[in-house]
Amino acid sequence: MELLTSRLRLRPLNQQDWPLFQALNQNPEVMKFVADIQQVSEIKANFDLRCCLWHKYSNTWLTLVIERQDTGEPIGLHGLKTISDTPAVAELGFMLCPNHQGQGFAFEASMAVIENAFKVHHYDTLIATVTKGNTASEQLLYKLGFKVHQVIERNYMIGGNLLDDIELVLNKPAAKKRHPA
């Protein structure tokens, strides 16, 4: 599977992507609102799981590398994971290298992943969970059409602090009715 946008190529994660995966998962700026930074052995085990062949019901993340088309440089990760099959619901997630944030790359990649999730994989709903305080990701999700479903207080621990999570939801757009000519 490969997704193309005007500036980006999204392709499945493979073993050659370990340096990117490790760098993102060990970068304090990237991980600030994601999770505590794990030991390298734990990051590698997670990486190996995400390199496996994905299908909609595999109980693992479809992890896509976000690459710039102009340079071929890998700049982040994007993906989704099925959390329910009836109705078909998936969680959406992304991480971008700090020097590529704020340039519209996350929005562009997300639009491609969302379109693919609804049109190709036939998900009914996508959810995204954002740690309160991660304003950039929260605003991006609003721009993509996500709406707040719930705020879960003191739900997730990062750095020894219990933080609130904001769960956002995006439903599959209704099919447009065709009017006879």
121 pLDDT above the threshold of 70: yes
State mean pLDDT over 140-164. Answer: 94
Confidence of residue 174 (pLDDT cuts 50, 70, 90): confident
> Residue 36 is encoded by which pair of tokens?
């505590």
- Nearest to 85, CA basis, from 127, 60, 57, 126: 57
Q: Quote the CA–CA distance of 146 and 128 in Å, as a whole number.
A: 8
- For residue 58, the model assigns a pLDDT of 86
Q: Quote the CA–CA distance of 141 and 156 in Å, as a whole number.
A: 19
- Return the percentage of the chain with pLDDT > 70, whole number: 97
Peptide bond into 87 cis (omega under 30): yes
Phi, psi of 176 (to 5 degrees): -75, 135
Q: What does the buried/exposed string (b/e) look like for 107-128 if buried means 16 or more CB atoms within 10 Å of the residue's CB?
A: eebbbbbbebbbeeeebebbbb
SS3 category, 51: coil
**pTM, 2 dp:** 0.92
* Helices and strands counted in the chain (H then E): 5, 8
Q: For the segment 28-58, what is each residue's pLDDT rounded down to a tens digit? A: 999 999 999 999 999 999 999 999 889 898 8
Phi, psi of 62 (to 5 degrees): -80, 110
* Residue keyed to tokens 């990649």: 109
- For residue 180, the model assigns a pLDDT of 63
Say which CATH topology domain 3-171 has.
Aminopeptidase (3.40.630)
- Please state the separation of Cα 142 from the chain's center in Å: 14
Confidence of residue 179 (pLDDT cuts 50, 70, 90): low
